Each structure stands twice: as structure tokens, then as C-alpha cells.
Structure 1
Amino acid sequence: MKNTLTLLVLSIIITSCTYKINEKTAFTPTKYNPESIRKYCDSCSESKRNMFLMIVEKITGTNDSKIIQSDSINIARNFFNINDSITLEYFEYSPNKYDKTIFFFIGNQSNQIAYLENLIALSIKSNSKIYALNYRGYGQSTGIPSFKTQFSDNQLFYNFIKPNIESKIPISMGYSLGSVFATDLALNNELSELILLAPVSNTEDMIEHYRIQSTSGLKKILRPFIRLKVDDFLMNISNVSKINAYKNKLRIFHAIDDKSLPYEMGKKLFDISNSLDKKLYTLKSGGHSAPFKAYNWEEIIMTIK
């Protein structure tokens, strides 16, 4: 009787510790949020706040194409039709002179406004024209984000922009979630350079990291019983095999205190890469957003110049 009761209790524990991770967890539609933007601006100087709010008002309150026109850079916002029902919003950063073209892929739970300041500096200081796409469901892009469609969306977008690249050096750059899209585009189109910021390695590593995170402290005793289930197609999301096949210039920036996507993920990608021109930049602090801290962003710019 005692053994039967023990088995019953264990069965209940194991069943109750099985969790389903859906696609939306890793790929969350993120529209513009004026309130969060205003909170960000509260910490800015008055001149910077006024300029930023003016830009944001144009982006969120209108469908204007011309966002900024200045002596150093022009920023345009346009829309690209995937099909009759899906329209994607994208931004184009054009400095006065440029000899490189960067395709920038954003992270999860963000949109283009979060990267404005950094991409303006990158464009001007590295003499690069930058194209940055809002995924389905992000910003003013329509539709629902999915890994099933985003890779093909990215390729269609690249094909759309490619005639404008001319002889400019093409670079693919991705942050966090965007790293898998950046790698895919760079490999499939043999782009000259790939830059990964706080990248993910693969779904398997991500699941293990989430399992450990969710069983910290006293919950650690439950770790052997935790079971995480994901849809089969999500298990195919990986930077590992594609990085292994990519042979051109590779730069990886990852912070050792990144709690969202651990440093070991970036290190793993660096170690398995067969590129003859690769470098891993170990950022000392800043967490998952470390690449965008001013001192680190300047180093990233210097690697592109």
C-alpha cells in the first residue's frame, strides 16, 4: 500500500511538472507603446527628449515616409508587401556617404523604436546604410509572427532591397532572437560579414536554460522532474549548423552576465564556426542588452569601420 501511494505521488509530481512552451514565448508580437516610450524619454536631456518624441510621433502617429532629414543622416520608414494580406514596416538609415549595407534583425519583444539611437550612431560612424525590418505583428507590420514564415519573409525583403545594394559591402547583423535570422540570411546569400549580438545557439540549449532558471533556489529539488515540451518545428530553430557552414567574416558580442541567453551560447557558436576570420568579444557587464551600452556599441562600430 505504501509503495503504491509513493508511486501515485511521484506520478502526480511528474505530471504537474510538465510544461508546454509555445512559439509566442520566443516570438512575441510587439506593437508601439507610447507610454513606455515616454518613460524612456523621462531620463533624457530636454533637447534629446524633444527630438526623440518628435521622431516617435512621426513613426507611431503617421504613415509618413520621411522620419528624419538632416545634414548627417536621413531616416525613412516604408512598407513592403509580402502578399495581399501581409505588409511589413521597415526603416532605412542613409548617411551622406556609405560603402557598406547592413541588414539589422531586432530582438524579441521589441520594435524599431528601441534601436533608433544606436542605429543612427552606427550608420553615421561606420558609413553604412542600414535596413531594419519589423517582423509580422511588430510595430506597424501586420500579421502574426512565426518562425514558419519569418525566414522566407526575410529572404523576400532581401531580394526586394538587393538591387539597391550595388557594390556596397553587405553585412548581416542580428540581436538575440534576430541572430537566427541574421545567420540564415548571411549563409543563404553568401554575405561578406555576419555580426551576432547576444545570440541564441539552438532551441535545445534554450530549453535547458529555461528549465534551470525556473528551478532555482529551493525549487532545484524538482529539476529532475521538470519536463518542457515544444512543437517539433521549434526544435529546428538553430544557429549551430548554419554557423558551422558560414565561412566568411564572423563577429560575436556576448556579455558574461547575460541571464537571458547565457554567454556559453555565444561561445558555443564561436567554437563550432569554421570561419577563418572570426572573433568573440567578451563583454564584461550589461546583461542581455550589453551590446547596446555606449562603451560596447562604440567597439562594435569600430569593428565595422
Structure 2
Amino acid sequence: MPYWLHVTIIILIIYVIISIAIYYLQDYLLFKPEKLPEDFQFYYENQDIEEHNLETRDGAVINGILFKPKGKSKGIVLYLKGNSKSIKGWGKFAVDFTRHNYNVLMVDYRGFGKSTGRRSQKAIKRDLQEVYNKIKEHTSEDRIILYGRSLGSGFAAKLASMNYPKMLILDAPYYSLTKVTARYAPFMPLSVLIKYPLPTYKWLKYVQCPIHIIHGTNDTLIPYKTSIKLSQVKPKLTKLHSVIGGGHKNLNNFESYHKMIHEILNRIPEEIDLSTTSIHVNHVSKKTKTKA
């Protein structure tokens, strides 16, 4: 056997082994769940909470916590968290919305916290739609805000594309999860291997509500340019909020982030009479005559 053919066969074998490993190990690489015992008691200082369980049609249980504001509720934020821990730790971020008199519902995906069931992209999308439907039994959609953080941004975009919430807020979103993983395995056939492609950009095309995208300019996990691309999918409905110097996990440490949340939740949209602006004014430079 020629040497070049021997080397080629070895490379192909290694390539196939790596592909198989990526396919079967991606759940362990993508999800970092924290599991909680059934009798675990949630507690957050100065927060009024209610624990809820939703049994899905395939017998799984989706566990969630409803955080209540001290004043009269303006609506509800369905907060879809990232890929790690459980709502035990994520619950501390609910105060960023309850302080504006919004209820906040946080749920754990399958296999996280007290939630059960076999995890898949299809199952999680179905679970979240069932959660959304339950919310609609208690309030109208014009009072529902979808907030997706990192991994949750894709699921939030999908929910918004299938429903009519008041608004969609994406925090450190990705263009698609396939694009994110391609940075670490550029030569692998990820479009075939990835079980959680989560094509946020595709789902955003069908969103009809206002879209707010928040991203840190120093995010090294999901680059800031990702949100620039996403903001161009539905530009008339989208506003991009940049947290200067913000990373992927520390936006809540920036005063500018909290000012953005305040503006997003409390500002009343105003129609602008474009006929009174310079939108149609062209800057034309005078041509200089050249001597013959």
C-alpha cells in the first residue's frame, strides 16, 4: 500500500471517530445542568416567589419559579436562561424585572434543576410553548415579554416567531448554534452532526413584535458581531443595545445594562414624522472641472 494512501486512511479514520464523538458527546459539552432533589426549597431574600410544575404530554415535568413584584404587575417576563446551573442560581437576576413591577417566570430545561424528561431541541421547544400557553391562560399576550439569555436566546426567538408577545429581548444571542460550534471545529460537518442547530436568524424572520438585542462588545464566547448580523434580519423592528466593555457573563455588572433594561421596559414608542427630517437629503459633492 502506497504511503500516501496509508496516511489518508488513517486521517479518514480519525475524522470519522471525531465526528462520532461530537455527535454523541455534544449534550455533555453543550449542557452543564445542576440537578436538584425534589424536596429542594427555593429561597431568595426579599423576593416573593411561587414554585410551579408543568407536566408535559410525554410525562416530563418542567419546574419553574414565578417571581412577583411588590407593586401592581405590568405584565410577565418569561426568562429563558443559559446552558448551565439551574434556576436556583439564575433566580437572582429576576430582580432586574420585578423592580419594574413585572412578574418573572423562570423555568429549568429538561434535566436541569427539578425538571425531568429526555432532552432534545424538539422537546424543549414543545415544553416552552406549553409554558407560554399556560401563561396565556392568565394574561393577554400584549403583557408577555420574552427574554432569552445566551442559549435561551434561540428558544426565545422561536417562541416569538410562533406567537405574538409584547416584545422579544435577546441577551448575548448567537446567529445559530452551528455557527458558534464551527469556531471550534471548522473542518467538521456540523450541519449534519449538531442536534441543536438553533438557527436564531431563521426564526427572527417571522417575529412580528419589537426586538431588542443586548450584547457586550468584549464577548469572547459569542462575538459582538453576531448581534450586528442579527439586528439586520428585521431592522425595522430591531434595536441593538451595546454594553461597552461587557463580556458574556458579566453584563449585569454594568450600569449601562440596567439603564438599557429600564429604557426597554418603560419607554413608550413614539412615531417619528420622517418628512420633517433629513432622511431624504443627499450629500452631493461638486465635480471639479479638469483642464484639457
Separation in 1 of the partners of 2:109 and 2:152?
10
> What residue is the counterpart of 2:251 in the other structure?
291
For these two proteins, the number of residue pairs brought into alignment is: 259
Q: Could you state the TM-score of these two structures normalised by the residue count of structure 1?
A: 0.75
Separation in 2 of the partners of 1:118 and 1:144?
27
Separation in 1 of the partners of 2:163 and 2:141?
15
> What residue is the counterpart of 2:174 in the other structure?
200
| 1:62 alignment partner AA | D
| 1:256 alignment partner AA | T
More helix by share: 1
Separation in 1 of the partners of 2:125 and 2:211?
20
| CA offsets 1:181-218 (integer angstroms, 9 cap, x no match) | 11111121111200001112113312321226xxxxxx
> What residue is the counterpart of 2:27 in the other structure?
24
Q: Does 1:113 align with 2:88?
A: yes
CA shift, 1:256, in A, is 2.5
Distance 1:209 1:280, change over 3 A: same
> What residue is the counterpart of 1:54 in the other structure?
none
CA shift, 1:162, in A, is 1.1
Separation in 2 of the partners of 1:69 and 1:289?
22
> What residue is the counterpart of 1:222 in the other structure?
none
Q: What RMSD over aligned residues (CA atoms) do the two structures have, in Å?
A: 2.7
Please say if residues 178 and 197 of structure 2, whose CA atoms lie closer than 8 Å, have aligned partners that are also in contact.
Answer: no
> What residue is the counterpart of 2:3 in the other structure?
5
| 2:10 alignment partner AA | I
Match of 1:130, SS state, is strand
Q: Where do 5+ consecutive residues of structure 1 fail to align?
A: 34-59, 213-225
Match of 1:210, SS state, is coil
Residue from 274, 278, 288 that aligns with 2:238: 278
CA shift, 1:84, in A, is 6.6
Please say if residues 250 and 277 of structure 1, whose CA atoms lie closer than 8 Å, have aligned partners that are also in contact.
Answer: yes
Match of 1:199, SS state, is coil
CA shift, 1:116, in A, is 2.0
Please say if residues 137 and 145 of structure 1, whose CA atoms lie closer than 8 Å, have aligned partners that are also in contact.
Answer: yes
| CA offsets 1:120-149 (integer angstroms, 9 cap, x no match) | 23212x211111111111101112321120
Residue from 90, 99, 116 that aligns with 1:142: 116
| 2:245 alignment partner AA | S
Separation in 1 of the partners of 2:11 and 2:222?
28
CA shift, 1:14, in A, is 4.8
| CA offsets 1:240-286 (integer angstroms, 9 cap, x no match) | 11112213211111122222222222221111224x23211222334
| 1:252 alignment partner AA | I
Q: Could you state the TM-score of these two structures normalised by the residue count of structure 2?
A: 0.78
Identity %: 22
Runs of 4+ more than 6 Å apart:
none
Distance 1:13 1:284, change over 3 A: farther
CA shift, 1:294, in A, is 4.3
| 1:16 alignment partner AA | I
Match of 2:93, SS state, is helix
| 1:12 alignment partner AA | I
Separation in 1 of the partners of 2:94 and 2:144?
16
Q: Where do 5+ consecutive residues of structure 2 fail to align?
A: 267-292
> What residue is the counterpart of 1:253 in the other structure?
214
Separation in 2 of the partners of 1:30 and 1:204?
21
